[in-house]
Amino acid sequence: MSSVARFVTVPAAIIIAAILSVSSPALAQEAEPDLGAKLTLAVSAHKTTAALGDTVELTVTLGTTSDTAVDVVEAVFDSKSISLELAPEGLKDERGQARKFYYLRFHRGFFDQKRWATIKLEKGSPKTVKIPIVMTRVGKVDVSALFAGYPRGRGSEPKKSEAVTIDVTPREGKSDLCVRIETSHGTIVGKLNPEVAMGTVMNFTRLVSDGFYDGLGFHRIIGPTKMPPDGFMIQGGCPKGDGTGGPGYTIPAEFSKEKHVPGVFSMARTGRGPHTAGCQFFVCVGSPGHLDGQYTVFGATIEGLDVVKKIGDLPTGARDKPNEAVKIVKATLEYR
């Protein structure tokens, strides 16, 4: 869980990865005083009824009602630079209030200013971008887009679109979303838990659906030999195979009261902060209680715990890398 990725903290994290500014001095003098208040933001879905596991394509539109053109300095306005707020129906936090989940995706060039480009946002000519999300739980889910760039109006809150509601139904009568991971040492089936980590499960299922994990492996193993008596975990999903790789963005942590016990799926970090997970995950071999409330638990093994333990028993070398490669042959979603 070494450090390579960086995460922008709130409120900068709650962005569409676009920072609005007036670049011309002349334009700055003539500009309306509240250009930010005149920004428009909308989100729509290509369908509002979907089955569990379906992919719904969202369209996010950013525009302005101002008669004054606005220069938009952007970190590429695309499907990996959108911030979405998802509010699942009926979910409550520990205080009994409605829970909010943030599913953030950052463009890989966000911190590279050389990749920034300037576009002009004009009245009647909005910019649009599409982003696919996987439906991970049965029930109604409200989705809205957030914008916290500049200018957004003096003292105003981040721009938030009206929500679009997606009604998610069981798939062929099945309401549980699972992942089947076929490895070179056997098959592991995990039941995913969007009730405690919806954003994380959405990200993970998107990667699985895209075939991201196919051909990767478990690059770090800490079993009973190194951490007696039961061992620690097996970590995988790194595209570089050494723990330093990621999908090109990070997602926020979703801590809960779920415990790290044998078979639990949890997200590995690629940086020092809590919000630096992306694609790497680990499956517990033992019960590392020191991780509780510090890492995002998002599922649990329901088949193949013996495979998890068998991998955990493999001999390792430097940096806990297994002497014998452990491949993820294929990862697929299934329903139960």
- Per-residue pLDDT 10s for the chain (336 aa) are 443 333 222 232 223 333 222 233 333 334 444 556 677 889 999 999 999 999 999 998 888 888 877 665 543 444 555 567 777 776 666 667 766 655 554 433 333 444 445 557 788 988 888 888 889 999 988 888 876 554 434 444 567 789 899 999 999 999 999 999 999 999 999 999 998 898 899 889 989 999 999 999 999 999 999 999 999 999 999 999 999 999 887 888 889 999 999 999 999 998 778 888 999 999 999 999 999 999 999 999 999 999 999 999 999 999 999 999 999 999 999 999
CATH assignment of the domain containing 317: 2.40.100.10
SS3 129: strand
Q: In this structure, are 30 and 150 located in the same domain?
A: yes
71 within some domain: yes
CB-count burial class (<10 Å; 0-12, 13-18, 19+) for 327: middle
| Helical spans, DSSP H, in the chain | 25-30, 194-209, 305-312
Sign for the pseudo-dihedral over CA of 231, 222, 295, 166? negative
pTM for the model stands at 0.79
Q: In this structure, are 200 and 226 located in the same domain?
A: yes
Q: In this structure, are 144 and 210 located in the same domain?
A: no
- The answer to whether residues 145 and 14 touch, using CB atoms and an 8 Å cutoff, is no
Specify the residue for token string 């909010």: 100
99 within some domain: yes
182 within some domain: yes
| Cβ-count burial 248-257 (b if 16+ within 10 Å, e if not) | bbbbbbbebe
4 within some domain: no
Three-state SS across 134-195?
Answer: ECCCCEEEEEEEEECCCCCCCCCCCEECCCEEEEEECECCECCEEEEEEECCEEEEEEECHH
The two structure tokens encoding residue 192: 């995913």
Instruction: Give the type of residue at 336.
Output: R
Q: In this structure, are 149 and 281 located in the same domain?
A: no
Nearest to 234 by CA among 320, 330, 332: 320
12 within some domain: no
Q: In this structure, are 69 and 216 located in the same domain?
A: no
Q: In this structure, are 186 and 89 located in the same domain?
A: no
Nearest to 105 by CA among 73, 146, 142: 146
What is the extent of the structural domain holding 57?
18-169
